[in-house]
Amino acid sequence: MGRLRLSGQELKRIGYKSDRTISLAINLARKNFKKAGREEILITLEKINLQPHKYLKDPVWGKLAQLLTEKPEEGRKVPDLKKSRRYFKIFGEELIDPEAIRQMELAMSLPISVKGALMPDAHVGYGLPIGGVLAAYNAVIPYGVGMDIGCRMCLSVFPFSPRKINDDREQIKRILMNETRFGLAEFRDEQDHEILGRKEFDEIKFLRTLHKKFAAQLGTSGHGNHFVDVGHVIIPEYSELIKLQAGEYFAVLSHSGSRNFGAEVCRHYTGIARGKLGLRGAEAQLAWLELGSEEGEEYWAAMNLAGDYSHANHRIIHRRLARAFGEAPLVIIENHHNFAWKETLATGEEVVIHRKGATPAGIGDIGVIPGTMASPAFIVGGKGNEESLNSASHGAGRKMSRNVAVKDLSGKQMKEYLDSRRIELLGAGTDESPFAYKDIHEVMDYQKDLVEILGTFHPAIVRMA
């Protein structure tokens, strides 16, 4: 017999009204009655809903009964925010805009919030600040994940000497221009990928409306800070985590995500969450969906599809480049941010951890934390720090907005700075100027307890939109 399947709609039909009781009921049933019959469980749940006091001491259903008796079902009642500031750890507070800290404080006031942390690259975002990590009880916040769902770093390390960069510079530039696509540009020869046939498009009506654009943007990169860089990797000593001998290598590093698909998923399910909760003002940007509710389960499936799509986009980029270079990479290192994970805290609590612009950094996790187009990216291994919720920064982090950068920063100054570092830029404007970002070395200093540096990537030819 397969996994017990229950839906929020079924529980609503037997009298359950709030998403929280629905999700708790479904989770308890799935955890404790994996092989039970659906009808049998529904009958039991109906009895509990009608007479919860009889089940208060039940070892399985006691929590559900308590919730039903202590907090009456009220449908769309606007949730109360916590009155006092809940503590969260801030790494590198000196580098962080006070407004980003205020955004994190608001997120910690949500009734679903359990624990939080702010990474040293943090800056203001929509809803949860970028660089914010939030553990929530049995709920997912679409804007706590972000619009570019599953955005990630991908590093291919090749068995070439870094001398190839200068020896074959013009050829490499042509390859980058021919084999990558940014913004609205699309590929015509990537239309038979297995991800285009995913079952979620059949199961979730909303996702079907996005399939055409999903297919068209496959293998491409977005605007903003997305890039494909050619450079060299320095590995100071052998690491079992990445299995590369000490030395210097030719390498490609990319940063991109789930394109328009992720953005549309975020907007759609945030709209649903706002409507269900009745939130207004800044907290409406943090509207959440209970896991176990129909909409919450839909979002979770769509989020995972977006993450797999982002992964597929990177692998297409790196496959095309490897084919053009005529050599397979020695290793590929990949990690993602802008995602939510179901994890267990040291206290034993099962939570949903949102890492918006934050890198997973548990024991055994490997990641890449980039700086700017003119500074190194760091290959890192996680140290499993509980205070950071096993997380680290996802980059250097902005110190000025795009609008301010375009208004205040000089293109000439940017070019001179890149030239002084022998870095060639293909695309991008002053909104991505290195001067618009924090110093990656300072950011890394503030997270020595979060990650171990295993190597560095140094960009030489930078391809952006």
pLDDT at residue 72, rounded to an integer: 47
In terms of Cα–Cα distance, which of 154, 308, 313, 150 is closest to 219? Answer: 313
Contacts of 78 (CB under 8 A, 6+ apart): 277, 278, 279
User: Same domain for 187 and 53?
Assistant: no
Is 95 within a domain?
no
Is 298 within a domain?
yes
Whether 461 and 177 have beta carbons less than 8 Å apart is answered as no
Is 366 within a domain?
yes
Q: Give the pTM.
A: 0.83
CB count within 10 Å of CB 232 equals 21
136-188 residue pLDDT tens = 999 999 999 999 999 999 999 999 999 999 999 999 999 999 999 998 888 88
The token pair that represents 156 in the structure block = 């291919």
- Last-in-domain residue among 70, 100, 123: 70
In terms of Cα–Cα distance, which of 7, 256, 279 is closest to 143? Answer: 279
Is 75 within a domain?
no
Q: In angstroms, rounded to a whole number, what is the distance separating the alpha carbons of residues 421 and 434?
A: 12
User: Same domain for 315 and 215?
Assistant: yes
Side-by-side strand order, sheet with 89-90:
89-90, 113-123, 130-136, 350-356, 339-344
Is 85 within a domain?
no
* C-alpha neighbours within 13 Å on the C-beta side of residue 188: 1
On the question of pLDDT at 39 being above 80, the answer is no
User: Same domain for 255 and 391?
Assistant: yes
Is 162 within a domain?
yes
User: Same domain for 233 and 348?
Assistant: yes
| 278-290 mean pLDDT | 89
Instruction: Return the CATH number at 392.
Output: 3.90.1860.10
* Total count of domains within the chain: 2
On the question of pLDDT at 333 being above 50, the answer is yes
User: Same domain for 199 and 325?
Assistant: yes
Is 235 within a domain?
yes
24: containing domain: 8-70
pLDDT at residue 207, rounded to an integer: 97
Q: In angstroms, rounded to a whole number, what is the distance separating the alpha carbons of residues 325 and 417?
A: 29
User: Same domain for 282 and 173?
Assistant: yes
User: Same domain for 334 and 186?
Assistant: yes
∠ CA(364), CA(366), CA(367), 5° rounding?
150
Q: In angstroms, rounded to a whole number, what is the distance separating the alpha carbons of residues 121 and 130?
A: 8
Q: In angstroms, rounded to a whole number, what is the distance separating the alpha carbons of residues 171 and 163?
A: 13
Q: pLDDT band for position 255 (50/70/90)?
A: very high
User: Same domain for 300 and 445?
Assistant: yes
User: Same domain for 171 and 48?
Assistant: no
| 218-237 mean pLDDT | 96
64-80 residue pLDDT tens = 998 888 654 444 567 87
Whether 290 and 19 have beta carbons less than 8 Å apart is answered as yes
pLDDT at residue 230, rounded to an integer: 98
337-370 residue pLDDT tens = 999 999 999 888 899 999 999 999 999 999 999 9
User: Same domain for 251 and 374?
Assistant: yes
User: Same domain for 180 and 275?
Assistant: yes
User: Same domain for 171 and 269?
Assistant: yes
On the question of pLDDT at 421 being above 60, the answer is yes
Is 187 within a domain?
yes
pLDDT at residue 1, rounded to an integer: 41
